[in-house]
Amino acid sequence: MIYDHRRVSMSTIDRVEVSVFDIPVENFAHNYDDDTYGGSFTYAPGATSNRSVLMVQVFTDDGHEGSYAYWNVSAAVPQAVTAARVAVGHEMHERELIYRTVRRSARPAHSYGLSFLDVALWDLAGRAQNLSLTQMLGGHRTEVTAYASSHNGDRLGNLSNQDAVADFFVRLQDMGFRNFKMHSWHRGDKREEAANVRNMRERLGEQAELMLDPACVFDSLSDAIYVGKACQDAEFRWYEDPIRPTGLGAFAHKKLRDALDIPILQTEHVAGPEAKADFLLAGGTDLLRVDVHYDLGITGALKTIHFGESLGVTTEMHAPSPVHRHLIAAMQQTTLYEVANVSPAGLDPSPEIYSCGYSDHVDTISSDGTLAVPTGPGIGVEYDMAKLLPLRSFHEIIEAG
């Protein structure tokens, strides 16, 4: 049979819509009153704060549609509009061409807006072919093993000491979670952090996979090593992002790796596949970290995942998202799905924007510690537009011509 490209029906992107929705969040607010917190989202009983959700919807001239919505990333909205302008007029399958064009047009900034557009393009492709993202990627897993990843502790009544942390994790353990990560307190007291590590192991038992992410609180390498040794002695699965400022320097993290006998997990804050590859090759990490919202969508995340796989290096997905469940389902390595950031004051870390039943609420965990991978076409979720539209604060339509 001779292949005739003229028989293939092309779908052209003729409209992209970019929207922002302000979602009310109870009992949390940005805290600028204390430099310890420095504007972090902390427990604030009785407060109501708006968090924005960014949605990108892509439409083709022959009636196909793809979309993605999640918590907004700083500076992503104008970049999403720019990415949409590039995408309009392209064929729906030209993700790589759109990816490389938008990245160049966004220089010298990192194009977070491309991330949302790229995921919407993959959703579009899956819906057009009636295949889930897992199927498109050749994946085989139907569930992902999850871990509960706590909100940063504070002195405001939310995980304020090591016993509160352990009590919360034991409660989740009784619900089905088997793996746990603490996000540290904001202060960076090495002795308090090390004591918490030991307490977690004692309270949660030898079978639990445990991790620590100090979230870049330690000002010195020596403090980071001190706490890392506690993690090492307690047989934690990994030690993540302990050093200021925001985990960017490969040299300092190589020193950390040399001083410890525990896997180091970096590159959450090192954006994009090329920078992550450089960080790994420079010896700054044992494991890679990727997030479709930071790392140029599914297309960008796959470049990092496949690079790591070629070297036998595991790439862990950062934070929850239906997209991340699909990517874990399609990986060669067995990795863990992060249900972050949760605490007694906040049990659902994802925006409540779905009409299909999808949820990352802690009570959706199964008895064996897993969560289901969506099975519908594309990303496999539907959005509650009746709820979202009254909350819309920004809307721009980009059309061909």
79 and 103 assigned to the same domain: yes
122 and 177 assigned to the same domain: no
For the purposes of burial, counting CB atoms within 10 Å of the CB of 74, is it exposed (0-12), middle (13-18) or buried (19 or more)?
A: exposed
The reply to whether 379 falls in a domain is no
72 and 164 assigned to the same domain: no
Number of domains in the chain: 2
The reply to whether 209 falls in a domain is yes
280 and 348 assigned to the same domain: yes
pLDDT value, residue 9: 53
pLDDT value, residue 16: 98
Calculate mean pLDDT across residues 98-123.
94
The reply to whether 193 falls in a domain is yes
The reply to whether 377 falls in a domain is no
**pLDDT tens-place string over residues 50-73:** 999 999 999 999 999 999 999 999
**pLDDT tens-place string over residues 151-201:** 999 999 999 999 999 999 999 999 999 999 999 999 999 999 999 999 999
Calculate mean pLDDT across residues 137-142.
97
The reply to whether 102 falls in a domain is yes
119 and 148 assigned to the same domain: no
The reply to whether 145 falls in a domain is yes
Percent of the chain having pLDDT more than 70? 98
73 and 158 assigned to the same domain: no
13-30/41-60 β-pairing: antiparallel
Say which CATH number the domain at 320 has.
3.20.20.120
86 and 202 assigned to the same domain: no
392-399/13-30 β-pairing: antiparallel
Calculate mean pLDDT across residues 119-130.
98
Between CA 239 and CA 181 the distance in angstroms is 10
Q: What domain range includes position 75?
A: 5-130+385-399
Say which CATH number the domain at 45 has.
3.30.390.10
118 and 236 assigned to the same domain: no
Buried b (16+ CB within 10 A) or exposed e, 349-384: bbbebbeeebebebebbeeebbbebbebbbbbbebe
The reply to whether 107 falls in a domain is yes
Q: In 3-state terms, what secondary structure has residue 328?
A: helix
158 and 143 assigned to the same domain: yes
Answer whether 314's CB lies under 8 Å from 293's CB.
no
What would the two tokens of residue 108 be? 């010298």
**Which of 228, 306, 233, 295 minimizes the C-alpha distance to 265?**
228
**CA distances (Å), origin 210, targets 1, 329, 367:** 56, 22, 18
Q: Which residues, other chains included, contact 56 with Cβ-Cβ below 8 Å and sequence gap of 6+? A: 16, 17, 18, 67, 68, 69, 80, 84, 116, 117, 119, 120
pTM given for the model: 0.96
Neighbours of 130 (CB within 10 A): 10
Between CA 178 and CA 205 the distance in angstroms is 10
The reply to whether 82 falls in a domain is yes
Calculate mean pLDDT across residues 288-297.
98
Confidence grade of residue 107 (pLDDT, cut at 50, 70, 90)? confident
Q: In 3-state terms, what secondary structure has residue 226?
A: helix
pLDDT at residue 4 is higher than 60: no
pLDDT at residue 5 is higher than 60: no
96 and 193 assigned to the same domain: no
37 and 147 assigned to the same domain: no
pLDDT at residue 339 is higher than 90: yes
334 and 189 assigned to the same domain: yes
pLDDT at residue 236 is higher than 50: yes
**pLDDT tens-place string over residues 342-374:** 999 999 999 999 999 999 999 999 999 999 999
Q: In 3-state terms, what secondary structure has residue 85?
A: helix
Task: Return the DSSP state at 374.
Answer: P
